[in-house]
Amino acid sequence: MNTSIPNTIDQSITINAPIERVYTLITDPKHFGTWFSEGVDGDFTPGSQPVIHEGKYGDFRLAIVDARPHNYFAYRWVSGTHFTPEGFVGNPLEHPNTLVEFFLEPVGEGTLVRVIETGFAHLPEHYASQNHSDNTGGWTYQLNALKTYAEK
Amino acid sequence: MKDEVAVVFRALADPHRLALLERLDPNEPVSVGKLLEGLSMSRQGGRKHLQVLSEANIVLLEPKGREVMVRVNSDAITLSIKYLRAVEQSWARRLQRLKKLAEREDLQI
């Protein structure tokens, strides 16, 4: 089966800053704790399991997978701030988790950052069963949304 | 209703099942026979895929006379889309914050 859909989030952004600088902001917990979360306890070397604080969403433990200056950084976590209201600080590797990968490449004088998060199809049901309030949008709209994910 | 996102994702992670879903009109239940007509998958394979969709609550299989009707349950899909949207939005916000920070001239790192 050649598809893992809808199993992936894939987003990119171009940043007008050198790749070394962007890499540091992503992989230094001191900086990560300012743009991603509200602070971090622990370090980001591969194999370590720091805890990030996401304010009202709770704390989340990361399992750092890999860090290759200045092009790649990856971790696993049990994520989904809207659907894990109390956070998740257990060992992510012992639970169904998602893999977050940052890919950096120089573009002119700036940096292209691409984030891919995969593994949603493996999350257990109860992590994602919250807040089913409104139910708008037609069938075509929904299928198109699915296709968008599928074609990424 | 079992509105479970992961089950929906798993069930949809298959091109045959996506193809079945695309053939379904959300306002118009259709018989299993009619739905599978002209598809490249075997009847037995088609039924198996429908069973998976049904277990994920994406479709409802309703006996009607000698037929089984297939009805779309769009609630299950809606919830899954909302979940991915929420995750996407979180990432979009984070990446914007990263960009802002990286481009700040007064930030020494």
**B79 contacts in A (CB within 8 Å)?**
128, 132
Contact at CB, B22 and A143, closer than 8 angstroms: yes
Q: Note whether B105 contacts A: Cβ–Cβ < 8 A.
A: no
- Chain A contacts in chain B segment 52-81 (CB below 8 A): 72, 74-75, 77-81
| Per-residue pLDDT, B75 | 78
| Per-residue pLDDT, A121 | 63
Please state the ipTM of this predicted complex: 0.76
| Per-residue pLDDT, A45 | 97
Contact at CB, B81 and A137, closer than 8 angstroms: yes
| Per-residue pLDDT, B101 | 95
Could you tell me how far CA B81 lies from the centroid of its own chain? 8
Residues A63-96 have pLDDT tens digits of 999 999 999 999 999 875 444 557 888 898 987 7
What SS3 state is found at B28? strand
| Per-residue pLDDT, B1 | 24
Q: One digit per residue, pLDDT tens: chain A, 152 residues?
A: 233 345 678 889 999 999 999 999 999 999 999 999 899 999 999 999 999 998 887 899 999 999 999 999 999 998 754 445 578 888 989 877 889 999 999 999 999 999 998 877 655 443 333 322 333 334 444 445 544 544 44
| Per-residue pLDDT, A3 | 34
Query: What does the block give as tokens for B108?
Result: 């020494």
Q: One digit per residue, pLDDT tens: chain B, 109 residues?
A: 224 667 787 787 777 888 888 788 877 899 999 999 988 888 899 999 999 999 988 899 999 999 999 998 877 777 777 777 778 888 999 999 999 999 999 988 8
User: A99-134 b/e with 16+ CB inside 10 Å = b?
Assistant: bbbbebeeeeebbbbebbbebbbbbeeebbbbeeee
The Cα B60–Cα B42 span in angstroms is 21
Q: Across the interface, which of A22, A111, A135 has its CB nearest the CB of B78? A: A135
Query: What does the block give as tokens for A123?
Result: 């999350």
| Per-residue pLDDT, A122 | 53
Q: Note whether B88 contacts A: Cβ–Cβ < 8 A.
A: yes
A10, amino acid identity: D
| Per-residue pLDDT, B24 | 86
Contact (CB, 8 A) for A61 and A90:
yes
Judge if pTM exceeds 0.90: no
Residue B102's H or E segment, with its range, is: helix B74-102
Contact (CB, 8 A) for B3 and B75:
yes
